[in-house]
């Protein structure tokens, strides 16, 4: 029995919409926020940085946690005229 690729895509999109959390690799987060993978690893070891999940040896970051981390790093600039 062969499965139609478009059917699989539809199911995956439906699941993504239902379970909207997106999980990112170290490399993806590194590219997204401009920190090296080794800095992310050091921060995890120190108990700092972005929350993460670990399954076996795999480390994943929830997109929502990465966004929250970046939002917490915002700097307010006030210009006096």
Mean pLDDT of 51-80: 92
Mean pLDDT of the chain: 87
Q: Above 60 in pLDDT, residue 33?
A: yes
pLDDT score at 35: 95
Whether residue 45 contacts residue 59, with contact meaning beta carbons closer than 8 Å, is answered with: no
Quickly count: other Cβ atoms within 10 Å of residue 56's Cβ: 5
pTM over 0.85: no
The CATH label, of 1.10.287, 2.30.30, 1.10.1660, 1.10.10, for the domain at 22-81 is 1.10.1660
């Amino acid at each position: 029995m062969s499965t139609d690729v478009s059917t699989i895509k539809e199911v995956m999109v439906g699941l993504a919409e239902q379970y909207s959390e997106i999980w990112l690799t170290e490399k993806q987060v590194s590219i997204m926020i401009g920190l090296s993978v080794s800095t992310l690893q050091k921060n995890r070891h120190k108990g700092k940085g972005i929350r993460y999940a670990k399954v076996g040896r795999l480390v994943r970051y929830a997109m929502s946690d990465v966004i929250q981390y970046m939002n917490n790093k915002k700097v307010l600039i006030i210009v006096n005229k």
